[in-house]
Amino acid sequence: MAPRSSTAMKADEPGSRRRERMRAILVEAALRLFARQGVDATTIDEIVSVAGVAKGTFYNYFTDRADIARAVAAFVRHSMNAAVEEINRGIDDPAERIARGVRLFMAGVVLDPVKAAMLARLYESGASLDAHGNAHLLSDIRDGIAKRRIDVPGELAALHLVVAIGTITIRHLLDTVPSGGSAADILRGEGYARQMAAVLLAGLGLGHGEIEEILARPFDASGIKLFG
């Protein structure tokens, strides 16, 4: 759905709420453009055109393209973390939590391909390889190491392994699901999603039996709101 134009806002809406919604419209417009063509290829003129606002309005909220790119990255990461927490509710095993999070990343291609593409671009840029952007994942990795549930040379290596697999699988599915790949399988974490989750868990040091036990448990992302 296209970002709402500022003209759609109610005249009697409180100022703080109008500002919040206008900022969200600009972020949504930038996100769609960044996902399609990348940050560097996107101009502020394009962002305001998609948002349906005057160029001066942009500068009431952001200083430049890099500023709004940071806002887009923060929105995507916050939304993704919230979705991972939702699908992992009641799951205590850190290895299973990590695997479910990666399968949810892949389900994002079905749930919201535009934002999934933005997520892939975000990781490909290196912007989300640090601990700040992956606090939830890093917490699970540290928990897994402490509990001897995962066996890795170091937490940074494990973080980069998860991010790399998550990114390449999103890219692959963005190319294949629209042209005939099984969306239903991806939402259930089956097929290719299950195979890649198995590869990931093996990379984290789990044995075949442990991997099969984790992946045999129910997984269904169809009811998850991936992005706010």
pLDDT tier for residue 126 given thresholds of 50, 70 and 90: low
pLDDT tier for residue 227 given thresholds of 50, 70 and 90: low
pLDDT tier for residue 5 given thresholds of 50, 70 and 90: very low
To the nearest whole number, what is the mean pLDDT of the chain? 86
Domain with CATH 1.10.10.60 in the chain: 13-62
pLDDT tier for residue 69 given thresholds of 50, 70 and 90: confident
- Each residue's pLDDT tens digit, 20-63: 999 999 999 998 898 888 888 999 999 999 999 999 999 999 99
Question: Which of 64, 63, 57, 69 shows the shortest CA–CA distance to 27?
Answer: 69
For the domain 13-62, what is the CATH code?
A: 1.10.10.60
Backbone CA torsion sign across 38, 40, 44, 45: negative
Instruction: Output phi, psi for 71, to 5 deg.
Output: -65, -40
Kindly report which listed range (28-32, 122-126, 160-164, 187-191) carries the lowest average pLDDT score: 122-126
Contacts 24+ apart (CB under 8 A), 111-114: 111/187, 111/221, 111/224, 111/226, 111/227, 112/226, 112/227, 113/174, 113/177, 113/178, 114/31, 114/32, 114/35, 114/36
pLDDT tier for residue 7 given thresholds of 50, 70 and 90: very low
To the question of domain 72-215 being in CATH 3.90.550.10, the answer is: no
CA atoms within 13 A on the CB side of 31: 27
Grouping H, G, I as helix, E, B as strand and the rest as coil, residue 125 is coil
**Cβ 102 vs Cβ 162: under 8 Å:** yes
Which runs of consecutive H residues, i.e. helices, occur in the chain? 15-37, 44-51, 55-58, 65-87, 94-111, 113-124, 135-146, 155-176, 183-187, 192-203, 208-215
Spell out the SS3 assignment of 25-89: HHHHHHHHHHHHHCCCCCCHHHHHHHHCCCHHHHCCCCCCHHHHHHHHHHHHHHHHHHHHHHHCC
Instruction: Output phi, psi for 7, to 5 deg.
Output: -70, -15
Domain with CATH 1.10.357.10 in the chain: 72-215
Report which DSSP code applies to 134: G
Query: Can you give the pLDDT at residue 78?
Result: 81
Q: Does residue 187 register a pLDDT over 90?
A: yes
Grouping H, G, I as helix, E, B as strand and the rest as coil, residue 98 is helix
Structure tokens, 92: 């205590």
pTM of this structure: 0.79
pLDDT tier for residue 102 given thresholds of 50, 70 and 90: very high
Query: Can you give the pLDDT at residue 8?
Result: 46
